[in-house]
Amino acid sequence: MRPALEEKAAALDAADPLGAVRERFVRDEDVTYLDGNSLGALARSVPGRIDEVIRREWGELLIRSWDRSGWWDAPERVGDQIAPLVGAAPGQVVVADSTSVNVFKAVVAAVRMARGADPGGAVRDELVVDSTTFPTDGYLAESAARMTGCALRPVEPGEVPAVLGPRTAAVLLNHVDYRTGRLHDLPGLTRAVHAAGAYAVWDLCHSAGALPVDLDLHGVDLAVGCTYKYLNGGPGAPAFLYVRRDLQPRFDSPLPGWTGHREPFGMRPAYEPAPGAGRGRVGTPDVLSLLALEEALTVWDGVTVEAVRTKSLALTDFFLECVTEYVPSGRVEVATPVPHGERGSQVALRCEGAAAVMGVLGERGVIGDHRPPDVLRFGFAPLYVGFAETERAARVLAGALA
């Protein structure tokens, strides 16, 4: 007789409405991949599409592909593919550059919006940033503060409402903490930022493609996010930038590149920004990665973010259940919040010697990652992770810790 949790896993897999979607990905039955929150898996249709892009569109059509193969419009077109996954109506998302570069654009633009909204009002010279953020956001926010004459105020997300005031220009927050997997209160914090007359910039790296974001519904001002985690765009695929429609005319980018110009091929000496989200573009689009991402996004055909969220919570609940059952008491501490409303799509466990433990897991075919000093991170990408392998991962973890 199989152990009870193996039975349960089999039943959960059998009842999984997203089970068939797993076949859209390249998978290795010997590996349990719980690092899709760092690099998403390869969709089966991507290699063939990129071979066509390289051989036919680049190799044969050459320069003509900017027009004929739709390369030029890809940043906006792929942005519109991402838009429904983050709750945005079309025309507000553009795909370009890295998340880091987009953080800089968004934060500087937010400070300028805050100052432009009420030129005779209070001096808005404070930039509030999540002190627990993924470091690059903090580094870029610091640079944005330095270059716009703001003071940087790093605080924990829960403390943000308490520090907001008439001097707050903008607030940079993470929807899901990269380390603990904690889901922050996007609607409530956005309302608090707006009540202070400031602008909210959200980093969606660890939520886009994993759970509903509802940018339009909650009136978020600006957002950035990664496409190579839960959106499976491939290593280093370009990031996205959301600029709410009514704010677009006031989006004054610190990186006004030629491809974001109203008339890019007019070769005009003066910069005039494009009318829509396209003004967030800077240089020549990175075609190979952009079109790999476009193809990867076809795995979402017939899949809703709500269904993904339901499965994500079921996976992380089940993993926590297995860890509780298998891992000797006291060996790990669960760093991820248990309430569903506070949990992203990963489970973080603190333990001694986390780096070495993750090394052993890797040797035994369970891939997660380690974040210093003591965190084991297990990401659950509901499009391709199943319950049986989730049970196995917990069992292997228990063995590694034994």
Interacting residues with a second copy between 69 and 98 (CB under 8 A): 71, 97-98
Dihedral angle computed from the Cα positions of residues 61, 62, 65 and 69, in that order, rounded to the nearest 10 degrees: 50
CA distances from residue 68 to 62, 72, 74, 298 in whole angstroms, order as listed: 10, 9, 12, 21
Q: How far is the CB of 86 from a second copy (least distance, A)?
A: 19
Q: Which of 35, 130, 203, 286 is catalytic?
A: 203
Active-site residue, from 105, 153, 167, 229: 229
CB of 222 to a second copy, least distance (A): 17
Does residue 373 have a cis bond before it (omega within 30 degrees)?
A: yes
Nearest distance from residue 229's CB to a second copy, in Å? Answer: 10
Q: Which of 262, 272, 176, 266 is nearest to 225 (CA)?
A: 176
Which residues between 10 and 29 bind a second copy (CB under 8 A)?
26, 28
CA distance 205 to 194: 22
Per the annotation, the verdict on 377 as an active-site residue is yes
Binding flag, residue 195, a second copy (CB under 8 A): no
Residues with Cβ within 8 Å of 22's Cβ and at least 6 positions away in sequence, in order, are: 383, 384, 385, 386
Per CB under 8 A, 357 contacts a second copy: no
The Cα–Cα gap between 369 and 349 comes to: 11
Of 93 and 96, nearer to a second copy (C-beta) is 96
Pairing of strands 199-203, 93-95: unpaired
Give the nearest distance from C-beta 218 to a second copy in angstroms. 26
Residue 378 a catalytic site member = no
Q: Tell me the two tokens of residue 344.
A: 């992203």
At closest approach, how far in Å is the CB of 48 from a second copy?
A: 9
Residue numbers 228-257 binding a second copy by CB under 8 A: 228, 234-239, 253-257
Q: Give the contacts of 303 (CB within 8 A, at least 6 positions apart).
A: 18, 21, 383
Q: Is 346 in the site for a second copy (CB under 8 A)?
A: no
Residue span binding a second copy (CB under 8 A) among the ranges 2-10, 263-271, 308-316, 387-395: 263-271
Among this protein's residues, is 229 annotated catalytic? yes
Query: How far is 355 from 358, CA to CA, in rounded Å?
Result: 5
User: Contact between 354 and a second copy (CB under 8 A)?
Assistant: no
Whether 134 is a known active-site residue: answer yes
Nearer to a second copy among residue 134 and residue 242 (C-beta): 134
Interface residues for a second copy in 199-228 (CB under 8 A)? 228
- Say which residue the tokens 């929150």 belong to: 37
- The size of the interface with a second copy (CB under 8 A), counted in residues, is 79
The catalytic position among 33, 228, 251, 387 is 228
188 contacts a second copy (rule: CB under 8 A): no
Query: Among residues 25, 33, 134, 230, which one is catalytic?
Result: 134
User: Residue 94 — φ and ψ, nearest 5°?
Assistant: -130, 145
380 is catalytic: no
The residues annotated as belonging to the active site are 134, 203, 228-229, 377
